[in-house]
Amino acid sequence: MEDCLFCKITAGEMDTDFVYEDDKVVAFEDVNPQAPVHLLIVPKKHISTILELEEEDYSLISHIYKVANKLAEAEGIAEDGFRIVHNCKEEGGQTVFHIHFHLLGGRSMQWPPG
Ligand code: AMP
Ligand code: ZN
């Protein structure tokens, strides 16, 4: 997808340091971290919002949660707990229209979210 920032990042065109990569996803640090640990887990496939998932993509979402668990262990936030956030469209707070999951931890989270 032309002009998609996360397509460029996942393709390795932006010199982003990946903390994790496999054939389906990459994970990297959010440029504007909201917690001591703030990673983005991003599929290599361009899907603009979670509403555009096709039947074959649902297994990708469970894979992302598997990667999130691994990363939470690796980052040392599994024991105390963490938050996974997915924003959908404008009112959900989505600013990059290539789906991604935020993995946040290292501090106490508040509820309700803003
Ligand atoms: P969202 O608002 O849920 O769409 O999340 C987009 C996230 O991408 C925000 O938390 C941004 O800080 C982050 N972001 C934007 N550009 C970059 C970049 N070049 N590298 C890392 N994170 C980025
Ligand atoms: Zn994309």
User: Which residue's structure tokens are 């509820």?
Assistant: 111
Q: What residues does the ion ligand 2 have nearby, CB within 5 Å? A: 1, 4, 6-7, 46, 98
**Secondary structure, 3-state, 49-103:** CHHHCCHHHHHHHHHHHHHHHHHHHHHCCCCCCEEEECCCHHHHCCCCCCCCEEE
Structural contact between residues 44 and 25, judged by C-beta atoms closer than 8 angstroms: yes
Q: pTM of this prediction?
A: 0.98
- 43-60 pLDDT, tens per residue? 999 999 999 999 999 999
Question: Does residue 49's CB lie within 6 angstroms of at least one atom of ligand 1?
Answer: no
| pLDDT tens digits for range 60-111 | 999 999 999 999 999 999 999 999 999 999 999 999 999 999 999 999 999 9
Q: pLDDT digit string (tens) for 12-23? A: 999 999 999 999
The closest alpha carbon to 85, from 51, 45, 48, 35, belongs to 35
Going by C-alpha positions, the residue among 76, 79, 64 that lies closest to residue 36 is 76
Q: Which of 17, 29, 34, 96 to mutate to test the pocket of ligand 1 (most atoms within 8 A of CB)?
A: 96
What pLDDT is attached to residue 114?
85
In the reported structure, the alpha carbon of residue 99 is separated from the centroid of ligand 2 by a whole-number distance in angstroms of 8
Q: What is the DSSP string of 2-49?
A: TT-HHHHHHTTTT-PPEEEE-SSEEEEE-SS-SSSEEEEEEESS--SS
Compute the distance between CA of residue 18 and CA of residue 27 in angstroms, rounded to an integer. Answer: 6
Q: Is 100 a catalytic residue?
A: yes
* CA 101 / ligand 1 centre spacing (Å): 10
